[in-house]
Amino acid sequence: MSLLGKRVTERIKPSVITEMMILVKKHKAISLTAGEPSSEMYPVDLLRETIERALRDPGILSYYPLSTGITELREWIAEWMKEDGLLPQSYGGENVIMTNGSQDGLNLVSEAFIEPGDTVLVENPTYPEALLAFSKEGARFVSVPVDKDGPIIEEMERVLSQNKVKLFYTIVNFQNPSGCVTTEERKKRILELASRYGFLIIEDDPYRYLRYEGKHEGSYIGLAQDEDRVIYLGSFSKIIAPGIRCGYMIVPSKITSQMGELVLATKLSLPAFLQRATWELLRNIDMKAHLAKLADTYRTRRDALHRFLQGKAVPQGMTYDLPKGGFFIWARVPWLKDCFDFAKFAVLEEKVGVVPGAAFYPDVLTADRSTLRLSFAKVPPETAEEAGERLGRALARYKETG
């Protein structure tokens, strides 16, 4: 349609992760694709109860006059984060904006800050749907490689000295896809760089509560205190359920009203009854026990997949570091030349779904096409053996045909 603007004709493109998820579903393959929790872990009964309670007040089904979300949930989130040492004491519910999952938060950040041609610094590799939200508004990307402790400072300094960066987008815990955790030490160095070069840090943190070993690191937003250098994105998708689409962003006080107006222009408000039910759920769930159960389950799944990858895929040349949390094993198969082609082959021929790792690189030309992202979240131990076998067989067969 000739009237379409650049956003849809030039800037956005299909999501590789979504395409793989659909392909996997269609071929009834074992899924190592989605970065989504296992549905047995959703607190469905409690959610049903709290929705039922929320609906006893039909007024909650009217338009909610605050575009930023219901006050009680926003205050709960601020308190929870403060108790956890994540948020400076000066922050409160008024700094919290509810979002339709973190993607909505990413989009709002992009819309609020990005003008065509602005430069966004991202980790290499990183979450491709974040790139979509930024490129939709015409961002150009520069990138910094990560090691197990997060972005490599020397590389970051080099990029910053050569580019006027407006935003730095980072996934701080069990990064998607690499699994790295940015240490407090690195965060402090990067906050200094943010002050020196005048950029804003977008701290995306959906996996924080899925830590299977080791201790939490301090957050950028907590370390920055009142410097107004950080926007934090959180989500209940991984610890409650993605389908409630309940994310949140924490923004500095001086931009809360402008961000609220932006939310209003894009959607008026989100379903308030669902926020009320989520609030009740959060108050009533034994969060510590719930998170411990999640950690136990996913740790077991990680270890099971690890065991069978060691047995079947590593002999085919696969290498990886075991992540301390999150959902993903970030694997490399050095002889693999085209992970996109292999991912299709694996679904069609061996009915096992993986995400081609090259999709996670901001620059398609220098993307490492020997990488694969393997999610263990939806693979119970009893399926992991079969998944490992299928993947090993797919690699062996693909290598032969190669």
Minimum Å gap between C-beta 85 and a copy of itself is 25
211 vs 245, beta carbon nearer a copy of itself: 245
Residue 237 tokens read as 């998708």
Question: CA-CA distance, 189 to 193, in Å (whole number)?
Answer: 6
Minimum Å gap between C-beta 306 and a copy of itself is 24
Minimum Å gap between C-beta 259 and a copy of itself is 7
Question: Quick check: 46 binds a copy of itself (CB under 8 A)?
Answer: no
Question: Quick check: 117 binds a copy of itself (CB under 8 A)?
Answer: no
The interface region with a copy of itself, picked from 205-213, 256-264, 302-310, 336-344 by CB under 8 A, is: 256-264
DSSP string, 308-343: HHHHHTGGGT-B-PPPSBSSEEEEE-TT-S-HHHHH
Question: CA-CA distance, 366 to 357, in Å (whole number)?
Answer: 12
Q: Which of 158, 185, 213, 266 binds a copy of itself (CB under 8 A)?
A: 266
Question: Quick check: 347 binds a copy of itself (CB under 8 A)?
Answer: no
Minimum Å gap between C-beta 4 and a copy of itself is 6
Minimum Å gap between C-beta 280 and a copy of itself is 14
Minimum Å gap between C-beta 316 and a copy of itself is 29
Q: How many residues bind a copy of itself (CB under 8 A)?
A: 83
Q: Which of 272, 318, 354, 387 binds a copy of itself (CB under 8 A)?
A: 272
264 vs 322, beta carbon nearer a copy of itself: 264
Q: Judge if the upstream peptide bond of residue 177 is cis by omega within 30 degrees of 0.
A: yes
Question: Quick check: 21 binds a copy of itself (CB under 8 A)?
Answer: yes
Question: Quick check: 103 binds a copy of itself (CB under 8 A)?
Answer: yes
With 0-12 CB in 10 A as exposed, 13-18 as middle and 19+ as buried, what is 400? Answer: exposed
Minimum Å gap between C-beta 158 and a copy of itself is 22
Which positions from 49 through 68 interact with a copy of itself, judged by CB under 8 A? 51-52, 55, 58-65, 67
Q: What DSSP designation does 8 have?
A: I
* All residues at 6 or more sequence positions from 331 whose CB lies less than 8 Å from its CB, including other chains: 309, 313, 318, 319, 320, 357, 371, 372, 373, 374
Place of tokens 């009915």: 351
Which positions from 157 through 216 interact with a copy of itself, judged by CB under 8 A? 166-167, 198-200
Q: Are 182 and 269 a contacting pair, CB within 8 Å?
A: no
Q: What DSSP designation does 319 have?
A: B
Place of tokens 């009237």: 3
Question: CA-CA distance, 307 to 391, in Å (whole number)?
Answer: 13
